[in-house]
Amino acid sequence: MNDVDIRKKIDSIVCDAKSNLASIMHSNVSKRDLALKTIADLLIDNKNQLLEENRKDIESAKSMGLPDPMIERLTLDEKTIEGMVESIGTIINLKDPLNRVLEERKLKNGVFLKKISVPIGVIGIIYESRPNVTVDCAALCIKSGNACILKGGKEALHSNRFLSGLIKKGCAMSSGLNENVVQFIDITDREAIKYLLQKNDFIDLIIPRGGEGLIKFIVENSKIPVIKQYKGICHVYVDDKADIDKAIKICINAKVQRPSVCNAIECIVVHEKAAKEFLPVLKEKFDELGVEIRGCKRTADFIDCVSATEKDWDSEFLDLTVAVRIVGDLDEAIGFINEHGTKHSEAIISENEENTEKFFSEIDAACLYSNTSTRFTDGFEFDMGAEIGISTDKIHARGPMGLKELTTYKYLLKSNGLIR
Amino acid sequence: MNDVDIRKKIDSIVCDAKSNLASIMHSNVSKRDLALKTIADLLIDNKNQLLEENRKDIESAKSMGLPDPMIERLTLDEKTIEGMVESIGTIINLKDPLNRVLEERKLKNGVFLKKISVPIGVIGIIYESRPNVTVDCAALCIKSGNACILKGGKEALHSNRFLSGLIKKGCAMSSGLNENVVQFIDITDREAIKYLLQKNDFIDLIIPRGGEGLIKFIVENSKIPVIKQYKGICHVYVDDKADIDKAIKICINAKVQRPSVCNAIECIVVHEKAAKEFLPVLKEKFDELGVEIRGCKRTADFIDCVSATEKDWDSEFLDLTVAVRIVGDLDEAIGFINEHGTKHSEAIISENEENTEKFFSEIDAACLYSNTSTRFTDGFEFDMGAEIGISTDKIHARGPMGLKELTTYKYLLKSNGLIR
């Protein structure tokens, strides 16, 4: 496809989304839930064809020599499809995030003010690989009354195209919503994303889900507000007042349970007074679990370990590797974490309330934990019922984002003829 | 100044702001209020020198042949300085916007969650002309625990430089805050703004205050999130169920009381059934008040008026000009307003509750009014006590923005050793 055709296609997609936005934006929740129910049914009814489309993606991924973990993420089976259906069911059962009364008061000037939650409008979601993201994101947007424009990775093109077809059909079948409130971009060229990001008159928000490269590209090219989900370089700080058993248990959980996710830890910061008791036990456990420790110079005084390089303090390993840094006091720990963290999730292990409060107050991050694993930073764990991602931004939404974070608000003001 | 020197200067400014952010971010409110009190005192003590610096700006504006209204906006006198001092006093008296508990609950997994308000971080404010904006914005940022980088218009360079000097001094004098938490860019070159907008590792948010050209330039060049304050093309819709006396009173107030502001109306949309009774009275009043009416073709059936061009429906006149459009029904009115409005403030004049609810529900704008003037869209009228601007964005903040809108949040999570 040449650039002119790409632009024409994108123009028509964003225009279709915006001009049909009203049909979902002002719909009541029973209509939106009915659309979701229909989509879930269509997924079950069209399972075989979906698996067939998915097979095309897998074959082409294999022929392109994509690495196994990527192919694994791409692959659908009966179970993952059931998972999608279940996920839609969960979203149906969530409370309507719209028309919540956020404030209600009479102003000094006599006007009666009411602030209510409303949809944001048209949301563009740019993501990579997993086809279930197509269903999850569309379902969250539908439930929250937003139109969405989906742009998935090229590896999952056949699966995503088929899935978005089902979603559009589900919207159209359930009377009232228009199929155009869900749009799918099947152009694989990056030029398409670049041009899409200029459409700030049509799209209200961009949510990217993917690697650092994709997100940086989007931030550099977007005229539309972006809520970023950057990497998580998360720390556990083991205080001199730590309960060492808790510290060990939490470090193991936060590093080992699922090392490939953003809320896993990459670095353990240890108070010098805790090092002697803590590090040898950690070393023993991590050896058993196959975790490589990359320690600072002082760490080597206590345990055998690989020497950490400067780069290690800023690395999201996403595997069984952990950096260890010894600090002289809590202030040094806070300074180190504020410098190398990505404002995602940070934990302190301490029995001292004052130290915990200082850590909570002085570290700039979305989620701060006391004697608790960083792995809890997650929309489901936060009882949001669903998650569109975890924001490392500070504007609009921070940390896990569910339905509420897909809304904005408006003010409704009434009086009997008041003027200024 | 050449580009290399501009970049060096900006690098040092953003670095100074960020590296001293902690001193204000984690300060308690008494310290922040003390800084504000000191700034107010310094303004009074240094009034004469401030007036002298301001005179330099006025002279240079005159020699450059700037238009009178611009020179007027630029000019400080005893009264405007008193206004600045009063405005700081008001901000001191406002409640601390930080550490408010926004949510507090025990999660199903047993972890105790608390969500509290915190400062955003480093905020860049790029504005034009009025020197009092320097004081207002800095005071709001100080009260809300944010560091700020101020970039004013070149016309007010001497005044702004002197004012920001006083503000920095006030921060330094009141023990605890660092003078670097307020930064002033005195480079008038646009290259400076362009480079500043690339500094997303140092600045968390940009708030522009100024004309459309400035805001568009910022949106196109910024890697940092921007909260936009675009123009206000606001409407009053006179329903067929309108009380005509209220309609007249509100149209006069919304158009005439202060036509140069964004919450004044630019267009009156009239139900065809109300036109016969409403328009002749409006015409009579507006003739008396010197308001020019630019009507659609059908308007001319009822009153003498200038013919509106297509451009008029999308114009922010900012003077005593108003467009008038006759519509066949409420749906047409809603469609017209959604197409030509800027999502700022829209009013319906109607005694019919159902029509009002439909208008409130289907128009996408920050503030919707029933039988009330659009002129109330204002932080002070909304009892926020202060205003950093009026957002026409939907992300993070919408409508009038006060102290609360200058905060974000963080989650604090506690347990006694829970893991996932």
Task: Give contacts of A419 with chain B, Cβ < 8 Å.
Answer: 249-250, 252-254, 257, 372-373, 375
Task: Give contacts of B22 with chain A, Cβ < 8 Å.
Answer: 338, 362
Which among A359, A382, A405, A406 is the top mutation candidate for probing chain B, defined by the most B β-carbons within 10 Å of its own β-carbon?
A382
Q: Check: CB of residue A113 under 8 Å from CB of residue B382.
A: yes
Identify the pLDDT of residue A211.
87
> Which of the four pLDDT bands, split at 50, 70 and 90, describes residue B1?
confident
* Closest Cβ–Cβ partner in A338, A372, A411 for B413: A372
| A198 at B interface, C-beta within 8 A | no
| B380 at A interface, C-beta within 8 A | no
Contact A372 B225 (CB under 8 A): no
Q: Check: CB of residue B372 under 8 Å from CB of residue A415.
A: yes
Contact B393 A225 (CB under 8 A): yes
The C-alpha of B116 sits at a distance from chain A's nearest C-alpha, in angstroms, of: 10
Indicate whether this model's pTM tops 0.80.
yes
Task: Give contacts of A257 with chain B, Cβ < 8 Å.
Answer: 419-420
Q: In percent, how much of chain B has pLDDT > 90?
A: 94
The C-alpha of A251 sits at a distance from chain B's nearest C-alpha, in angstroms, of: 9
Identify the pLDDT of residue B218.
95
Q: Going edge to edge, which strands form the sheet with B306-307?
A: A101-106, A112-119, A407-418, B367-372, B345-349, B234-238, B265-271, B321-327, B292-295, B306-307
| pLDDT tens column, B158-203 | 999 999 999 999 999 977 799 999 999 999 888 999 999 999 999 9
* Closest Cβ–Cβ partner in B361, B362, B372 for A111: B372
Contact B413 A376 (CB under 8 A): yes
Nearest by Cα to A148 from A193, A202, A188: A202
| B268 at A interface, C-beta within 8 A | no
Contact B420 A22 (CB under 8 A): no
Contact B417 A372 (CB under 8 A): yes
Task: Give contacts of A365 with chain B, Cβ < 8 Å.
Answer: 410
* Closest Cβ–Cβ partner in B26, B223, B246 for A362: B26
The C-alpha of B183 sits at a distance from chain A's nearest C-alpha, in angstroms, of: 21
The C-alpha of A63 sits at a distance from chain B's nearest C-alpha, in angstroms, of: 38
- The b/e string for B400-412 (b: 16+ C-beta within 10 A; e otherwise) is bbbbebbbbbbbb
* Closest Cβ–Cβ partner in A200, A250, A418 for B219: A200
A vs B: CB pairs below 8 A: 195
Neighbours of B185 (CB within 10 A): 23
Instruction: Give residues 335 to 374 of B whose Cβ lies within 8 Å of A.
Output: 338, 356, 360-362, 364-373
State which residues of chain A have pLDDT below 50.
none
Section B261-268 average pLDDT: 96
Nearest CA in chain A to B205: A395
Is the model's pLDDT at B129 over the cut of 80? no
Domains of chain B: 3-228+399-414 (3.40.605.10), 234-376 (3.40.309.10)
Rounded to 10°, the helix A132-143/A29-45 angle is 160
Is the model's pLDDT at B256 over the cut of 90? yes
Contact B219 A205 (CB under 8 A): no
Identify the pLDDT of residue A332.
98
Contact B413 A226 (CB under 8 A): no
| B289 at A interface, C-beta within 8 A | no
Task: Give contacts of A104 with chain B, Cβ < 8 Å.
Answer: none
Nearest CA in chain B to A375: B420
Q: Check: CB of residue A386 under 8 Å from CB of residue A90.
A: yes
Task: Give contacts of B246 with chain A, Cβ < 8 Å.
Answer: 416-417
Contact B121 A375 (CB under 8 A): no
Task: Give contacts of B371 with chain A, Cβ < 8 Å.
Answer: 414-418
| pLDDT tens column, B302-325 | 999 999 999 999 999 999 999 999
Identify the pLDDT of residue B211.
87
Which among B394, B401, B408, B409 is the top mutation candidate for probing chain A, defined by the most A β-carbons within 10 Å of its own β-carbon?
B394
| pLDDT tens column, B34-73 | 999 999 999 999 999 999 999 999 999 999 999 988 899 8
